[in-house]
Amino acid sequence: MTELTLRHTPADRLPEAEREAILADPGFGKRFTDHMVSIVWTHDRGWHDAELVPYGPIPIDPASSVLHYGQEIFEGLKAYRHPNGEVVTFRPEENARRLNASARRLALPELPEELFVRAIDELVRLDAAWVPGGAEQSLYLRPFMIADESFLGVRAAERARFLVIASPAGPYFTGGVKPVSIWLSQELARAGHGGTGAAKCGGNYAASLLPTRVAQEHGCAQVLFTDSNTADTIDELGGMNLFLVRSDGTLITPELNGNILAGITRDSLIRLAADRGLATEERAVTVTEWREGAADGTITEAFACGTAAVITPISRLLGEDGTLVDFGDRAPGALTVSLRDELTGIQFGTVPDRHGWVHRV
Ligand code: PLP
Ligand code: COI
């Protein structure tokens, strides 16, 4: 296969002073860099028209399939600035693989993994001035694919577009590593067996918005979803995987049961824990087990993890019947904090990268 090269159309860059003002307090997902990637796919020609173009609105026909049937997938990864100024991403080939797994489920075309990684490298290199250098700051990258064939028949579209946008980011949850409360959603589910729970598609997040609003009304930052059949077996949070920690240091996390996203942070933490001789039980885990274990002291910590959330300690689990788990002042737990420090140290270049996870752009 011939390699597709990305044609560059330079943007008028945002003046440096304005960019620096944004980087001083970027928030999450609010402002975007000067350029974006766009690559077109058509059924007859495959991938073509690969471009790095000025960031901005894209023309979209009102009959585009994505607007009607939600044929869309996305990824999330970050670029980090190391102390020596070098810019890196973290395991981007895993995001490339997962995008293609999502593409298969959503009947979208697969993108060559090499092209995914190269497109991101070129965007980050071009907009490197947008990679912040402050503590816990990074450039959040959002690759996504939409079906943009103009056709109202319900079938897989014969035209799609892959885009990458980039946004300077501080912590997803404000308040540093402050523990968060989460809300148990038992009525409203995000995924069911045979559905799209394991794919990173927009529809899963649309399904999580109403329960997230309910969670926020109860003072919670995120929703914990359980298996829609049992309402007790834990799946994951709206945008993060969940880990529990036992008093002996064993980690417990829901197995990849087809309903949850195979988090790259999740996988990385399982390996970092194994390096320390700590086992992770990947299996069905219930709210009942968590509640009882927290009450009798056998479960001592809980945390959420994902690219945006990094590792966020959980102090409380609330549900319709009130508080189910309350770690109170014991959160964040020691293992949560030390795994977080190790992972972010690797990403930010202050801890050796034993696994070769860091990718220089
Ligand atoms: N689960 C869901 C539903 C997510 O949206 C995310 C975030 O991408 C994760 C888990 C964590 O995945 P990762 O660690 O690859 O960011
Ligand atoms: C990510 O962590 O990259 C996600 O997509 C999750 C979302 C909460 C922003």
Say how far residue 115 (Cα) sits from the centre of its chain.
Answer: 20
Mean pLDDT for 133-143 is 96
264 lines ligand 1 (CB under 6 A): yes
ipTM of the shown complex? 0.98
Mean pLDDT for 151-163 is 97
Distance CA 218, CA 340 (A): 27
CA of 132 to the centre of ligand 1 (A): 22
Element of type H or E holding 38: strand 35-42
Distance CA 305, CA 173 (A): 12
Point out the ligand 2 atom lying closest to the alpha carbon of residue 265: 2
Mean pLDDT for 190-217 is 96
Tens digit of pLDDT for each residue in 26-74? 999 999 999 999 999 999 999 999 999 999 999 999 999 999 999 999 9
Mean pLDDT for 165-172 is 91
CA of 360 to the centre of ligand 2 (A): 22
Tokens linked to 219: 């003072």
Tell me what the pLDDT averaged over the chain comes to: 96
Amino acid sitting at position 317: L
Amino acid sitting at position 188: L
Q: Are 77 and 307 in contact (CB under 8 A)?
A: yes
pLDDT for position 229: 86
Spell out the alpha helix ranges (H) of the chain.
16-24, 65-69, 92-105, 113-126, 202-217, 264-275, 287-296, 334-348
Distance CA 72, CA 157 (A): 11
Mean pLDDT for 172-189 is 84
CA of 71 to the centre of ligand 1 (A): 19
Tens digit of pLDDT for each residue in 289-303? 999 999 999 999 999
Tokens linked to 223: 């929703």
261 lines ligand 1 (CB under 6 A): yes
202 lines ligand 2 (CB under 6 A): no
Of residues 161, 188, 137, the one with CA closest to residue 319: 188
pLDDT for position 228: 85
pLDDT for position 188: 92
312 lines ligand 2 (CB under 6 A): no
Of residues 165, 91, 98, the one with CA closest to residue 127: 165
